[in-house]
Amino acid sequence: MTQILIVEDERLINELIRMSLCGAGYGCTCVYDGDAAVEALDRQAFDLVLLDVMLPGVDGFSLMEYIRPLDIPVIFLTARASVQDRVYGLKLGADDYLVKPFEVAELLARVESVLRRWHKTERFLSCCGLSIDTLSHTVLRGETPINLTAKEYALLLLFVQNRNIALDRDRIYERVWGPGERGDSRTVDLHVQRLRHKAGLEGKLVTVYRVGYRLEE
């Protein structure tokens, strides 16, 4: 399930966004200030951040400095409607800038658009000679089916959706096994080794020293 972090200090707006996104099939985590956002980002991997600009403590523009190296798309949600603010937010690395008040339908459309650009919503994915159907959970190399376990499939999907991005072992584990599961980095390493062999990704799914792994295309 696509996971979205909502960083909005107005609780009614935060809850409205959460209900709308959950109704559309997204998983949501809600926080109400910049410090809590940093804690959530350290604790869990997200596919998208919805970020208010005017927050208690660390403001949204400052928080972008922390988010940008994580390679997570960001949509600013703010009442600051000036062209100067919009340009500044986009130059900081945000993928979109939505001015309050906004219609829920527009928010959902923009969320879907950003996720699509980041290759996180397509049914059919293609990478490194593999064809993936995310609805039927089938993987082909050419015409040959590749039989993967549920964890191996989730691991492959994570790498394909984040191709050419280095993913650290802790985030991989949280994303595939869940933050509540118990395990260690050796679990990730063993599954990556099996996935490399089964999917023919030797030389493509590379080890990043002291970090984790990256799928190169």
The answer to whether the beta carbons of residues 128 and 217 sit under 8 Å apart is: yes
CA dist 139 to 153, 173, 214, Å? 8, 21, 19
Higher pLDDT, 27 or 195: 195
Q: Domain range for residue 57?
A: 3-117
Whole-number average pLDDT of the chain: 86
Tens digit of pLDDT for each residue in 183-204? 677 889 999 999 999 999 999 9
* Residue whose token pair is 């107005």: 10
**pTM for the predicted model, two decimal places:** 0.59
**193 and 209 share one domain:** yes
Give the Cβ contact number of residue 189 at 10 Å. 15
> Cis before residue 101, ω within 30 degrees of 0?
yes
pLDDT at residue 207 in the model? 94
Higher pLDDT, 152 or 178: 152
Quickly state the pLDDT bin for 139 (edges 50, 70, 90).
Answer: very high
83 pLDDT above the threshold of 80: no
CA-based nearest residue to 162, from 152, 153, 170, 172: 172
Averaged pLDDT, 87-91 = 78
Count of structural domains within the chain: 2
Higher pLDDT, 123 or 166: 166
Class of residue 101 by CB neighbours under 10 A (exposed 0-12, middle 13-18, buried 19+): exposed
pLDDT at residue 190 in the model? 94
CA dist 9 to 14, 132, 144, 160, 207, Å? 7, 39, 50, 34, 39
Domain CATH number, residue 164: 1.10.10.10
205 pLDDT above the threshold of 90: yes
Higher pLDDT, 112 or 5: 5
Q: At CA 109, angle to CA 84 and CA 175, rounded to 5?
A: 95
180 pLDDT above the threshold of 60: no
Tens digit of pLDDT for each residue in 37-52? 999 988 887 889 999 9
Domain CATH number, residue 30: 3.40.50.2300
End-to-end Cα spacing for the chain: 24
Domain finish residue from 68, 83, 117: 117
**68 and 166 share one domain:** no
Domain finish residue from 67, 90, 117: 117
